[in-house]
Chains A and B, each alone.
Chain A
Amino acid sequence: GAVVSQHPSRVICKSGTSVKIECRSLDFQATTMFWYRQFPKQSLMLMATSNEGSKATYEQGVEKDKFLINHASLTLSTLTVTSAHPEDSSFYICSARLGGELFFGEGSRLTVL
């Protein structure tokens, strides 16, 4: 089956630093990937749609300068949280599209101290 892997699974950083999260499709090519954010006890909210070779499409209310998305290859999309603050602490999960199906990564838990 199609596998999507995220790295790191957990990251702790100091306030003001930047953190990069990778999302890889291991056995298929994905022109489109999606980034979601989930706060504790809440639902998954779509942050942006990542398109290989072009700019990401951000959902309303998501700061594109703070959450930098790069989809440089057909198997890798990265999300960089710049100048992270404690309120950015969350569970970030990506999904990759293969045909009509979506496959999710394991998620990355970010804690900003």
Chain B
Amino acid sequence: AQKVTQAQTEISVVEKEDVTLDCVYETRDTTYYLFWYKQPPSGELVFLIRRNSFDEQNEISGRYSWNFQKSTSSFNFTITASQVVDSAVYFCALRDNQGGKLIFGQGTELSVKP
């Protein structure tokens, strides 16, 4: 069965601190996709990144970076120099190669205080 675990329920940091959100997944598929979404208080899901299982290169996009480690089945997300606008719930998700449905982790609520 597929499963995504985000062990950190809530994280609170002070502005300008770096913060890493953890994501561990389980799947028997050899081809799969991993995602990160941001959900601000308004509720809509904001797509951040998609990574397929064959691409283990780390990615950086501005203050955001992602570390994909197949050996530990982890896909962690780091925000550098956090800002108050980063406050939101962040979801890690897993999708197989066929059906298209996403399996979401429990979410991590990030609070960045000024």
Contact = CB atoms under 8 A, between A and B. Distances in A.
Contacts of B100: 32, 34, 49, 97, 100, 102
Interface in B98-113: 99-107, 109
Interface residues of B, number: 18
B44 interface: yes
Interface string A98-113: 0011101111010000
Contact of B107 (A43, A49, A91, A102): A43
A93 B45 contact: yes
Interface in A12-39: 32, 34
B85 to A, nearest CB: 19
A42 B39 CA distance: 12
A61 to B, nearest CB: 15
B100 to A, nearest CB: 5
Interface in A64-103: 91, 93, 95, 97, 100-102
B68 interface: no
The interface centre, meaning the residue of A32, A34, A44, A100 with most chain B CB atoms within 10 A of its CB, is: A44
A34 B103 CA distance: 12
Interface of A: 32, 34, 41-46, 49, 91, 93, 95, 97, 100-102, 104-107, 109
Interface of B: 33, 43-45, 47, 50, 91, 95, 99-107, 109
